[in-house]
Amino acid sequence: MPELEQNLKEKGKNDLLQLVEQTTDINIYFIRQSHPRGLGDAVLMAKDFVGNEPFVVMLGDDIMQDKIPLTQQLMQRYDQTHASTLAVMKVPHEEVNKYGVIDPGAQSQPGLYDVKQFVEKPDVEKAPSDLAIIGRYLLTPEIFDMLETQNPGAGNEVQLTDAIDRLNQIQRVFAHEFKGGRFDVGYKFGYLKTSIEFGLKHPEVKDDLKAYIKELGKKIK
């Protein structure tokens, strides 16, 4: 973005210039999914771009917080397993029907599960566990072979979870239990809560935000 950098330089906006300069080494490519046929279909769109390598899927409405970023945790697991590994987290039992859920097998290391089955949005009564998939996946490229032949599942959409379940029948797929913080910005109140929680920790705005919330508290009964 040379024009933007030039413009910021001319205006003496050095703090913004610094921010822009930090991002110049990032290339962003996108592929459009023309019809909303499901998460599995969306991931399949990236097949040619990904090629024959392991890759990461990150769902944008799940925001994670931990000392070691969750995607890095998955990459560390991959260095040991050389297999698809996805993140799961314990959720309240009555909410399991909002998620992909695993039927966990043995733990080969603490927090690293073999998986007997992956089920997308099970009924609360039938869910195999409370360990839910939370939107971070490290996948081997063989997932694309599964996705190409995947029939629609829950919600009549092509589900990534169903393709992962089939992948698990031909090569091992592991689940890594995440113990950090998770924020869901996929619904309005979740979006608000996340903004406030992150704002309260941000050096630039935390004092103003605290003062604002205190002031607001006096008005709300």
Task: List residues near ligand G1P by CB under 6 A.
Answer: 39, 59, 62, 99-100, 120, 132-135, 159-161
Can you read off the two tokens belonging to residue 173? 């797929």
Residues 102, 89 contacting (CB under 8 angstroms): no
Output the smallest distance, CB 107 to ligand G1P, in A: 20
Output the smallest distance, CB 171 to ligand G1P, in A: 20
Helix, strand, coil: what percent of the chain each, to 5? 40, 25, 35
Tell me which residue has its CB nearest to ligand G1P: 100
Output the smallest distance, CB 179 to ligand G1P, in A: 17
| 8 or 158: CB nearest ligand G1P | 158
Give the H/E segment covering residue 189.
helix 188-199
Output the smallest distance, CB 191 to ligand G1P, in A: 14
| 38 or 78: CB nearest ligand G1P | 38
Phi, psi of 56 (to 5 degrees): -115, 140
| 7 or 152: CB nearest ligand G1P | 152
Q: Across the chain, where does the E strand assignment appear?
A: 55-58, 62-65, 84-90, 100-109, 112-120, 131-139, 173-177, 181-184
Can you read off the two tokens belonging to residue 21? 């300069």
| 7 or 97: CB nearest ligand G1P | 97
Cβ contacts of residue 73 below 8 Å, gap of 6+? 66, 87, 176, 178
Collapsing DSSP to helix, strand or coil, 31 comes out as coil
| 39 or 173: CB nearest ligand G1P | 39
CB atoms within 10 A of CB 20: 14
Output the smallest distance, CB 132 to ligand G1P, in A: 5
| 8 or 39: CB nearest ligand G1P | 39
